[in-house]
Amino acid sequence: MTRIMLLTTGGTIASAADESGAFVPVVSGRELLDAALPSLPDHISVTVRDLTRLDSSAITLSELDGIIAAVHADLADPDVDGIVITHGTDSMEETALALDIFHADGRPVVLTGAQRSFDHPSSDGVGNLVDAIRLAADPLSRREGVLIAFGGWTIPARGASKRHTGELDAFISTTPREDRRPKAVPVVPLAGTVVPVVAAWPGAGRELIDAAVSAGAQGIVVEALGSGNMGPAMGEGVAAALAAGIPVVVTTRVPAGEVALAYGGAGGGATLGSLGAVGSGYLRAGQSRIALIVALAGGHPIADML
């Protein structure tokens, strides 16, 4: 018998329309599992536990700490063969990377969710859940780190990115297959680490960087242009933040490709890199933020997390 733990957190997969027509996460983990059971082989045993019931846009670092703790508690049981987590798509990539950074166990952890609500006549949630449970039960999934099962695809946590607001195959990977998966680090609490994401635009000033510093940011992620550039005025703000000892990770708004800090000028990536800014590699803004939070909370070099 293959034993899988199913942890539920809410999201569209657990949502149904209320009297106003708005979708809210009201479906229990037991209801989700009961819908999936007819499509699962008899050798898979699933135990379900509801952790929370939230839209994933509302998941804070405190809830994320709880999810990480729940996964590690279940993996402490040697009889557990894998873990599946149902999760909203809005922040699935952030939760997946946080779990992956701390995941030193060979057993699979698989996240899944849905683009259509549980009560939709063509809901994709149950099918995704069945795929995720089968993936977590597959011995070939061991030692692959944290995975996302969605829309018929299996996507590594590192580099996962939501590519579409409505299509059923919602996620892609921005990371090449040959890209390394860094060694896992010990779990540390993430709540209380303040890292905002600031978007650049052509000609952007430094005011948002300065505001982030004034508000107590412990680190800053800049979603830059191109391969990692911003306007001179914003670059001057970043330089001032770096001089004040606040680490800055530079990512890009471009959907695919590596961040290369190659250009000169006050807002150029090469200039900011020479001052201590770190390029995010293939990670986009949400995952770059998680990586920087873990680095700050755990006292790790930022580049080791990216």
Nearest to 27 by CA among 53, 65, 58: 53
CA distance 47 to 64: 21
Asked if 161 and 204 sit in the same domain, the reply is: no
255 burial (CB, 10 Å; 0-12 / 13-18 / 19+) is: exposed
203 and 168 share a domain?
no
Listed residues 107, 140, 173: the one ending a domain? 173
Residues 20 and 131 in one domain: yes
Give Dmax (Cα) for the chain: 63
Partners of 279 in the beta sheet? 250
Q: In the prediction, which pLDDT does 178 show? A: 63
User: Annotated catalytic, 174?
Assistant: no
Residues 148, 41 share a domain = yes
Spatial separation of the C-alpha atoms in residues 252 and 225, rounded to whole Å:
5
**Residue 192: inside a domain, yes or no?**
no
Residue 181 has a pLDDT of 86
Q: Which of 12, 89, 174, 251 is catalytic?
A: 12
Q: Do 52 and 129 share a structural domain?
A: yes
Residue 237: which CATH number? 3.40.50.40
Residues 6+ apart with CB under 8 A from 19: none
Give 280's DSSP letter.
Answer: -
Mark whether 166 and 80 lie in a shared domain. yes
Quick one: how far is CA 225 from the chain centroid?
A: 21
Same domain, 149 and 225: no
Kindly state whether residue 290 falls inside one of the protein's structural domains: yes
**What is residue 190's predicted lDDT score, i.e. its pLDDT?**
98
- Total of domains in the chain: 2
d(CA 5, CA 105): 15
Q: Is residue 145 located within the same domain as residue 218?
A: no
How would you classify the pairing of strands 82-86 and 2-10? parallel
Q: 107-132: per-residue pLDDT in tens?
A: 999 999 999 999 999 999 999 999 99
165 and 297 co-located in one domain: no
Which of 59, 98, 227, 90 has its CA nearest to residue 164? Answer: 90
Residues β-bridged to residue 47? 5
The range of the structural domain enclosing residue 223 comes to 197-305
What is the helix (H) or strand (E) element at residue 75, kind and residue range? helix 61-75
**Per-residue confidence (pLDDT) for residue 21, from 0 to 100:** 86
Low-confidence ranges of the chain (pLDDT < 50): none
Whether residues 8 and 146 fall in one domain: yes
- State the CATH number of the domain containing residue 65: 3.40.50.1170
186 found inside a domain: no
